């Protein structure tokens, strides 16, 4: 082989080697010979490069993969930043809160402070859902409650406020052998928490509860018409008749005396006593009658005897509705 051909073959081999090396560098995630931590580091490094270039929508999935391979605190913090930049406030808030708790345990006060400040800032932008799971429902075997498909810890079943984004959210409850419960909740306000309650889950073959039967309640009017007169009613009638008679007698005595011009002291006293006692008896009878009389809900009759005094003498009036 001539020297010319030898040099050409050498250049071809070098070019091929460089091409293969570059291809491997372009696909760091496909190097299966690396361990989980090393692969997580490669993904994290590439995600940070993308974030520096402003390509956060591409960086977030790489950070998610890196976090699955190695749940490092730094990766969680950077993923929270990536979520915040792409307007995913609720998962960013959740990750910042986790980082603050973890950093406090590790004694990393600076990172704890930064994460807590970001968490509090995002918290003010989120709405709140309050989920109640009554005790009898919580005792359902293998019950699972989710918000937007994410399982809800039992610690949050007692009404702990859950930060959520504005928009529609789905509350679901399910258990083996039970009909699942699903409710779509629109959330449009960050100032007022929305309270939700999980009902009892019916069995798969259990029919829905029947509506309550109509109950017929006898009317007060019909009961009043069929009942016998009470003792109070009889007393009212006796007082009314006696009082009216005494009132009329006293008024009559006064009228006759005035007509004949002979209204003496005795006559005046007798007339006054008759009118006073009669009027009082009639008033008492009317009050007792109205108090003991059943209420008329349908506009039925109600009456009372009322004494009257006019310029020409006394009398009684029958007032009421019929």
**What pLDDT, in 10s, does the model give residues 131-177?**
999 999 999 999 999 999 999 989 889 888 999 999 999 999 999 99
Q: What is the predicted pLDDT for the residue at 204?
A: 76
Residue 182 in 3-state DSSP? strand
Q: What is the predicted pLDDT for the residue at 227?
A: 46
Mean pLDDT for all residues in the chain: 75
Task: Measure the CA–CA gap between 215 and 242, rounded to whole angstroms.
Answer: 46
Counting every residue written for the chain, the total comes to: 322
Q: What is the predicted pLDDT for the residue at 205?
A: 73
Q: What is the predicted pLDDT for the residue at 293?
A: 56
What percentage of the chain has pLDDT greater than the value 70?
Answer: 54
Residue 38 in 3-state DSSP? helix
**DSSP one-letter code for 209:** P
pLDDT in tens, 38-90: 999 999 999 999 999 999 999 999 999 999 999 999 999 999 999 999 999 99
pLDDT in tens, 206-261: 766 665 554 444 444 444 444 445 555 666 565 555 656 655 665 666 565 555 65
Tokens 């984004």, residue located: 165
Q: Give, for 130, the enclosing helix (H) or strand (E).
A: strand 127-132
pLDDT-derived band at 130, boundaries 50, 70, 90: very high
Q: Which two tokens stand for residue 252?
A: 């009559």
Residue 126 makes CB contacts below 8 A (sequence gap 6+) with 89, 90, 93, 163, 164, 165, 190
pLDDT at 195 over 70: yes
What percentage of the chain has pLDDT greater than the value 90?
Answer: 47
Q: Give, for 184, the enclosing helix (H) or strand (E).
A: strand 181-187
């Amino acid at each position: 082989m001539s020297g010319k051909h030898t040099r050409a073959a050498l250049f071809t081999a070098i070019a091929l080697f460089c091409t293969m090396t570059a291809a491997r560098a372009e696909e760091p995630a496909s190097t299966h010979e690396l361990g989980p931590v090393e692969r997580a580091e490669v993904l994290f490094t590439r995600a940070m490069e993308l974030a520096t270039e402003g390509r956060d929508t591409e960086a977030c999935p790489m950070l998610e993969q890196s976090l699955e391979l190695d749940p490092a605190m730094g990766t969680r913090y950077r993923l929270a930043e990536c979520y915040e930049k792409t307007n995913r406030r609720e998962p960013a808030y959740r990750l910042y809160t986790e980082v603050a708790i973890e950093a406090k345990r590790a004694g990393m006060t600076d990172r704890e402070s930064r994460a807590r400040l970001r968490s509090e800032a995002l918290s003010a932008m989120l709405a709140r859902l309050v989920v109640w799971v009554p005790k009898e429902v919580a005792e359902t075997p293998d019950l699972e409650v989710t918000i937007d498909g994410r399982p809800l810890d039992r610690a949050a079943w007692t009404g702990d406020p859950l930060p959520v984004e504005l928009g529609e959210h789905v509350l679901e409850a399910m258990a083996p052998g039970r009909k699942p419960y699903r409710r779509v909740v629109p959330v449009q306000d960050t100032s007022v928490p929305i309270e939700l309650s999980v009902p009892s889950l019916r069995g798969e073959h259990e029919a829905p509860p029947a509506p309550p039967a109509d109950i017929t309640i006898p009317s007060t009017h019909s009961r009043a018409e069929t009942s016998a007169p009470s003792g109070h009613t009889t007393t009212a009638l006796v007082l009314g008749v006696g009082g009216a008679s005494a009132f009329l007698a006293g008024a009559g005595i006064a009228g006759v005396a005035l007509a004949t011009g002979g209204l003496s002291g005795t006559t005046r006293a007798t007339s006054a006593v008759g009118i006073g006692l009669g009027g009082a008896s009639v008033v008492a009878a009317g009050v007792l009658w109205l108090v003991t009389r059943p209420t008329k809900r349908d506009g039925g009759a109600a009456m009372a005897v009322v004494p009257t005094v006019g310029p020409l003498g006394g009398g009684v009036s029958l007032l009421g509705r019929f």
